[in-house]
A and B are shown apart, each in its own frame.
Chain A
């Protein structure tokens, strides 16, 4: 298990992605699953920075738990709660003019990962847990 604490700023996304993709490769995930983890974690952290911390300063604690058959990524923040379950599904219509923008990040997280849990607690912060299993479905 490894944890790195990143400042909650968009300029950290590159470092966060490198941290989780390394863990995903160490678990032995297939390359397409490594890409899935990279994108899901980026989307989750972007949402925490944009919608939870907004413009205030803070941190994201990123923990990677490598098991034999799965990678678990835990993201902890101390901002306002932002539960992905409350984000309405995105508009995926092929009508360019009518299509609403937004909600894609959470949708992608759900599509790309095998499991997503969210817990919020005033003292221990908000905890988003995402699991990608080896050979699991996207």
Chain B
């Protein structure tokens, strides 16, 4: 798994590439926490190059969303969610918890 982050004026973009499982999910948690520690809570996670995500990744997203939405200070939105991962989100009731966008521009434009 590879994570790159990019800071924009109104939000941060996190690009997650590869596979998020119990082994790699802590790195995603660290990346989200590092952004929060900077006092930034508006985050786009671009999943275009995400190949796989297990429930370990779902847990990181859920905790991250809770932290970001606290005090209405922000939120995590998802861009370009691959079909197989979207299906697993649906099974686990995740789709109502995250706004999802078909491209990164409109995801960033949400903030």
A residues with CB within 8 A of B: 10-11, 13-14, 17, 32, 35, 38-39, 42-43, 46, 49-50, 90, 92-94, 96-97, 99, 101-102, 104-105, 107-108, 111-112
Contacts and interface: CB of A to CB of B under 8 A. Distances in A.
Interface in B51-72: 52, 54-56, 58-59, 62-63, 65-66, 69
B106 interface: no
B54 A42 contact: yes
Nearest to B97: A96
Contacts of B22: 10, 13, 42, 46, 49-50
Interface size bracket, B side: 20 to 34
A130 to B, nearest CB: 15
Contact of B59 (A101, A107, A111, A112): A101
Nearest to A21: B52
Interface of B: 19, 21-23, 52, 54-56, 58-59, 62-63, 65-66, 69, 84, 87-88, 91-93, 96-97
A48 to B, nearest CB: 11
Nearest to B53: A39
A35 B51 CA distance: 10
Contacts of A112: 91
A32 B82 CA distance: 12
28 contacts: A13-B22, A13-B23, A14-B19, A32-B84, A32-B87, A35-B84, A35-B87, A39-B52, A39-B88, A42-B22, A42-B54, A43-B54, A46-B22, A46-B55, A46-B56, A49-B22, A92-B93, A94-B96, A94-B97, A96-B62, A96-B66, A96-B69, A96-B97, A97-B66, A99-B62, A105-B54, A108-B88, A108-B91
B93 A14 contact: no
